[in-house]
Amino acid sequence: MNDHIETVMRHYRDRISQWIVVNEAVGNYLPGQMEDNIWLKTVGKDYVDLAFQKARQVDPNAELILNDYGAEYLGQRSCGPFKANSFYEFVKQLRQRSVPVDAVGLQFHLVVGLDNPNAERIEKNFARFHALGVKVYVTELDVRIPAPVTEQKLAEQARLYSLVMNTALRSPSCAGLTVWGYTDKYSWIDTFNAFPGYVNACLFAADLRPKSFFPSLLRDLESTSRDGGKEK
């Protein structure tokens, strides 16, 4: 693990300023549970601490990020009711141990018909991480639809995209947003069939045309810029 971190980070040192050092370390359903992976099995529960400490040693100037899914907003249904709080407590404990976590990444793989966040629940979650002294990033935003696709489902997809983007733009606790792919033609949902029965998660359709709500997102971006919102 140390060899991998050192080899990759030294190769790109001073060219890459942000690194997701550890991805998806927190378990889904039980408070305090860690994800069962090769690092937990072979290194032990402190592998996250060790990975961040090594990353800081290799590149003291880089921003180091802990990324996870299912912890995007308070009271989230996806991945069990405890995930958002478990992830928060995990980050809090890392910070208390002086592990050099500079930021958290919240993935936002939302599901039409299952996820029902609102701006307040998202912003409160952002704010409590910010209060720990870490930045918050939306790292992998997409919104998948259960087949068959209908106009009603497309409208809900549009609402969720707009909700997350506008909350991120206007939240003083959020430092940036990245969508997870841009077209359904190459999406992990459609191309790799990651969730059978779900489709059309991206902002652009499989024919590479932007979806009908895309212009409204651009107008929101322009409006936030004119209103003095911070650049993201």
How does pLDDT run across 139-154, given as a tens digit for each residue? Answer: 999 999 999 999 999 9
| pLDDT band, very low/low/confident/very high, at 227 (cuts 50, 70, 90) | low
Rounded CA gap, 163 and 167, in Å?
Answer: 6
pLDDT at 193: 82
pLDDT at 32: 76
Which residue in the list 72, 123, 140, 156 is annotated as catalytic?
140
Higher pLDDT, 27 or 231: 27
**What domains can be seen in the chain, in order of their start residue?**
2-226 (3.20.20.80)
How does pLDDT run across 112-142, given as a tens digit for each residue? Answer: 999 999 999 999 999 999 999 999 999 999 9
Catalytic, 231? Answer no
**Whose CA is closest to 121, among 89, 75, 67?**
75
* pTM exceeds 0.85 for this model: yes
Instruction: Provide the b/e sequence for 55-93 (b: ≥16 CB within 10 Å).
Output: bbebbeebbbbbbbbbbbbbebebbbebbbbbbbebbee
Which residue in the list 6, 24, 35, 89 is annotated as catalytic?
24
- In the predicted model, what is the mean pLDDT of the chain? 92
Rounded CA gap, 182 and 20, in Å?
Answer: 20
- Compute the average pLDDT of residues 44-56: 97
| pLDDT band, very low/low/confident/very high, at 78 (cuts 50, 70, 90) | low
**Does residue 226 surpass a pLDDT of 60?**
no
pLDDT at 223: 82
Catalytic, 24? Answer yes
Higher pLDDT, 4 or 227: 4
